[in-house]
């Protein structure tokens, strides 16, 4: 049985981040079909206004996700950092959809939905904003060193960070589907305790897992991550 692996990106990232995952899943037997979600304001949707509200984003992304699934009914959701809260919101909508079955939610590099980090980047001047985002993420995108690319990318990155920092869950109901919280073992942004607190919103099985690396562990540990997902579902 084919299962759609719907992937939600971190702040500033686009669907192309997940394109290499398709080749990796093919090597593992092609049971998982990677469905990368493209948020507005980047890549092929560069001219579209970016979201600033995660609840609105989940509502509006669902029809696109259904279209991309192309008839697949069984769904696994994965999201990292900002993508984790988007995946969580989308999970509740997938559960309510009459033609879809949510097999599992994987959230990565994020505190549980009701926890907000005390230090914020929203509202800072450009240089301070980028410095704080780099501090949060543990890396700085090379494109931000180019003045023209920076001017192009900055508005969407600001919108993403605002969406994440102002996020409030749309429901207090526990998720009636298996939930796995993932974290890089040396993540300096999200603590192990914060990652484990996703158990508070899980209603049908919970697991907390660490993989080697920092906050952006998934850039180097994609094969291990996809193997973990494949085994779990």
- 4: its two tokens: 């759609």
Compute how many other C-beta atoms are within 10 angstroms of the C-beta atom of residue 143. 12
- 205 burial (CB, 10 Å; 0-12 / 13-18 / 19+) is middle
**CA–CA dist 7, 17 (Å, integer):** 10
Output the average pLDDT for the chain: 89
108 tagged catalytic? no
Contacts of 145 (CB under 8 A, 6+ apart): none
Total domains in the chain come to 1
- 33: its two tokens: 């079909």
Name the pLDDT band for 27 (thresholds 50, 70, 90).
Answer: low
217, 184 contact by CB (below 8 A): yes
Q: pTM score > 0.85 for this model? A: yes
Per-residue confidence (pLDDT) for residue 130, from 0 to 100: 78
Domain hosting residue 52, numbered range: 3-232
Best-predicted range by mean pLDDT (23-32, 94-103, 111-120) = 94-103
Q: Give the domain CATH number at 200.
A: 3.40.50.1820
> Is residue 171 predicted with pLDDT exceeding 90?
yes
Q: What is the pLDDT of residues 109-148, one digit of tens each?
A: 999 999 877 677 777 777 787 777 776 665 566 666 666 7
Per-residue confidence (pLDDT) for residue 179, from 0 to 100: 98
More confident residue, 75 or 22: 75
**CA–CA dist 217, 143 (Å, integer):** 20
Per-residue confidence (pLDDT) for residue 140, from 0 to 100: 61
> Is residue 94 predicted with pLDDT exceeding 90?
yes
DSSP state string for the chain: --EEEEEEPPTT--GGGGHHHHHHHHHTTS-EEEEE---TTSGGGTTSPPPS-HHHHHHHHHHHHHHHHTT--EEEEEEETHHHHHHHHHHHHHHH-TT-EEEEEEEES---TT---SS--TT--HHHHHHHHHHHHTS--GGGGSHHHHHHHHHHHHHHHHHHHT---S--SPBSS-EEEEEETT-SSS-HHHHHGGGGGBSS-EEEEEESSSTTGGGT-HHHHHHHHHHH-
Q: Which of 81, 108, 110, 181 is catalytic?
A: 81
């Amino acid at each position: 049985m084919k299962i759609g692996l719907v992937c939600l990106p971190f702040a500033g990232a686009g669907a192309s981040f997940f394109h290499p995952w398709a080749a990796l899943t093919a090597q593992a037997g092609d049971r998982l079909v990677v469905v990368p979600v493209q948020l507005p304001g980047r890549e092929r949707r560069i001219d579209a206004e970016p979201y600033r509200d995660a609840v609105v984003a989940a509502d509006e992304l669902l029809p696109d996700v259904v279209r991309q699934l192309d008839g697949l009914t069984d769904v696994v959701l994965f999201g990292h950092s900002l993508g984790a809260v988007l995946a969580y919101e989308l999970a509740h909508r997938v559960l309510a959809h009459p033609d879809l079955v949510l097999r599992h939610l994987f959230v990565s590099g994020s505190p549980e939905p009701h926890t907000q980090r005390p230090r914020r980047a929203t509202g800072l001047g450009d240089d301070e904003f980028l410095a704080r985002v780099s501090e949060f993420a543990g890396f700085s995108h090379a494109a931000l060193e180019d003045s023209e690319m920076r001017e192009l990318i900055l508005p969407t990155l600001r919108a993403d960070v605002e969406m994440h920092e102002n996020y409030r869950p749309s429901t207090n109901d526990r998720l009636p589907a298996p939930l796995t919280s993932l974290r890089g073992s040396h993540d300096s942004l999200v603590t192990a305790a914060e990652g484990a607190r996703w158990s508070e919103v899980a209603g049908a099985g919970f697991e907390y897992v660490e993989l080697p690396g920092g906050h952006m562990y998934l850039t180097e540990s994609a094969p291990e991550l996809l193997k973990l997902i494949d085994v779990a579902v």
